Amino acid sequence: MSNLRTLVFFATPPHNCSYLPDREATTMFVDPRAHIDKKLYSQLTVLGFRRSGSHYYRPHCEQCNACIPVRLKVDDFRPDRSQRRVLRKNEDLQCTMVPASFTERYYRLYATYIEQRHQDGDMYPPSREQFTSFLVEGATDSWFLEIRRDDHLVGLAAVDLLDDGLSAIYTIFDPELEDRSLGTYAILWQVEETRRRGLPHLYLGYWIRQCRKMNYKTRFRPIEALRDGRWRELSDG
């Protein structure tokens, strides 16, 4: 059984950064042969690692520390006016947590989302193999939050259950319902689910100040950032 002391890590060669132009990035990965159980995954997450399919990784760039792990303290969180408006707007939706798996219905929503909103990203063009390797493979107590309206799937959020909270992996939604702010709604729902389970944190991945697409994360307060090996409240987001 693997543990933090026995894990082996590998670093990728420098490659183009996915978030900041004219930057190179290096990523540190846990040896894919290691057995990562829920306890070890939780420990890695506290250290700033994320999961993508079967891979556990964190940025490891020599001359850049722009990628900052962030997490929300759910017991202290209170939605602001805009977030309360999102909750009211989506009162007609139904949400269910189901084990992470592949279905054609999920994939069709995923493909539509990537094709219409992320043609400039690494995941374009979408494929069934990509969906499975990203969101289904390597699942460790991993779930999909189904968001439905009148039994029609309008959103899907991949969520991992950790020892000290939930980890928000990725959210997709029907691009025609952009005015509903379903990405924000999915996070608000996960906040309440984390509270319901009596857990303290909702991990939101990496925040990059210069990346406009990540600005939404700092609208959830109080949010903590991992800097210099310590989780501290982020006051400059």
- Domains assigned to the chain: 9-67 (no CATH), 70-233 (3.40.630.30)
To the question of pTM greater than 0.75 for the whole model, the response is yes
Cα–Cα distance measured from residue 134 to residue 149, given in angstroms and rounded to the nearest whole number: 25
Length of the chain: 237
- Which among 76, 87, 80, 27 has a CA at the least distance from the CA of 224? 76
For 99, 138, 144, 154, the CA distances from 107, given in Å and listed in that order, are 15, 18, 12, 12
In the prediction, which pLDDT does 48 show? 98
Give residue 158's identity as a one-letter amino acid code: A
Dist CA 90 CA 109 (whole Å)? 19
- Give the residues across from 99 on adjacent strands: 143
pLDDT < 50 stretches in the chain: none
Q: What is the C-alpha to C-alpha distance for residues 27 and 149, in angstroms, rounded to an integer?
A: 39
Query: What pLDDT digit, counting tens, does each position of 110-168 carry?
Result: 999 999 988 776 788 999 999 999 999 987 899 999 999 998 999 999 999 999 999 99
Q: What is the pLDDT of residue 237?
A: 56
